[in-house]
Amino acid sequence: MRVAIAHDDLVQWGGAERVLEGICEIYPDAPIYTSVYDGNHLELKIRLGNKKIVTSFLQKIPGWKNLYKQLLPLYPIAFEQFDFSEFDLVISSTSRFAKCIITKPGTKHICYCHTPPRFLWNFSGEKQYKKLGLLMNYLRKLDRVSSNRPDHFLAGSKNAASRIKKVYGLDSKVVYPFIDLERFKNIETFDGGYFLVISRLNKYKRVDLAVEACGKLGIPLKVIGVGSEMDNSNKLLNCFTPRNDVQLLGNLDDEMVVRVLSGARALIIPGIEDFGLTSLEAQALGKPVIAFKQGGVLETVIEGKTGLFFNDQTVDALTKVLEDFHSAKYSESDCLKNAAKFSKEKFLDNFKQMIASL
């Protein structure tokens, strides 16, 4: 088959891009069609640099890296402009606009959806675009229209499948993402006495809950990630003494992330995740997870065995859980077994079988 892959954008290296890399392993000759590509991003160059990457007209707009909100209305149009007439199969990998592609009757379109767009449907309390009311209404209508373009939907989790059903009224088959277990082999773990958050510092991720809870308790916390809430998190640190108890480490490469994670008492996930690959990465090192009891973590964390949940998304609820937390209650072997269920090999097999069946 002649296969192409469509992906929202290539500007960061995260969970969706790791899954994309896995899909590219199944279809090594398939070109990637995307809205914009940051060719200077080191991890993207290393992982996907040998792929043929086709970008849209948005790539030619000066300063596109700083104009995401302003260019929002153009992203669906950008994907509609691509020509897939020479392909038998197109796989769109998306949480936003890649499913907007238009294919002819002879081309099968299968959409692997991590979630319908969060900023449109407010699944995670992501309200930063609330002021753009008319634009959001237009994009919501367009999102529903474009949901009819794929021939089939695959969902990245049961959580995503329920969202697809709720928003689009469509059924989907679940194919879980994977973590690369090789990254965590032969890593010596230890108890460094600190808790850890690995997250983009966006508002809906609610990293502020972890910063404030640990700050109040004087519990050491390390935060890996950057984002729009970086300045607010720094301001929040000034409320606590000593500040050294909470450290914002910024972006770290994969190797350093594993090193820091290997010394954590537990990983904290205070926001609502579509799926939550970081929870599995922690478990792959035998580390338990403390998470808000909503979203994809319900599929990746076994309560009482590989982690625990807090029911209310508040500082008080997280503080109570941290006060009661004892890492000795959680078995390293249980964590490792659970993480092993989401291996790359299983993903590749399941994905290939699902595509073949469709």
Examine the domain organization and report whether 10 and 115 are in the same domain.
yes
Residue 203 has pLDDT above 90, yes or no: no
145 and 190 share one domain: no
Residue 122's CATH number: 3.40.50.2000
pLDDT tens per residue, range 38-66: 999 988 999 998 999 999 999 999 999 88
Total domain count, the chain: 2
Q: Which residue has the tokens 């995670």?
A: 124
Write the pLDDT tens digit of every residue in 205-262.
999 999 999 988 999 999 999 887 777 767 766 666 556 688 899 989 889 999 999 9
Domain of residue 251, residue span: 181-340
Q: Considering Cα of 240, then 243, then 244, then 250, what sign does the dihedral take?
A: positive
Residue type at position 99: K
Residues 6+ apart with CB under 8 A from 81: 56, 57
Same domain, 307 and 233: yes
Is pLDDT above 80 for 69?
no
Same structural domain, 279 and 304:
yes
- Specify whether 201 is located in the same domain as 314: yes
pLDDT at residue 127 is higher than 60: no
- In angstroms, rounded to a whole number, what is the distance separating the alpha carbons of residues 39 and 299? 34
User: Has residue 128 got a pLDDT over 60?
Assistant: no
Confidence label for 6 from pLDDT (cuts 50, 70 and 90)? very high
pLDDT of the residue at 130: 59
80-108 tens-digit pLDDT: 999 999 999 999 999 999 999 999 999 99
Q: Mark whether 322 and 348 lie in a shared domain.
A: no
Whether residues 16 and 91 fall in one domain? yes
Mean pLDDT over residues 326-346, rounded?
Answer: 93
Tell me the three state secondary structure of residue 355: helix
- 207/13 Cα distance (integer angstroms): 20
Query: Structure tokens of 156?
Result: 């990245």
Which residue from 148, 140, 68, 63 is spatially nearest to 102, judged by alpha carbons? 148
Instruction: Specify the amino acid at residue 190.
Output: F
Residue 78: its H or E element: helix 74-80
Same domain, 241 and 154: no
Least confident of 91-95, 200-204, 315-319: 200-204
Same domain as 105, residue 167:
yes
Statement to judge: residues 202 and 62 lie in one domain: no
**Are residue 244 and residue 165 in the same domain, yes or no?**
no
The three-state secondary structure class of 151 is coil
Q: What percent of the chain has pLDDT above 90?
A: 79
Same domain (yes/no): 137, 262: no
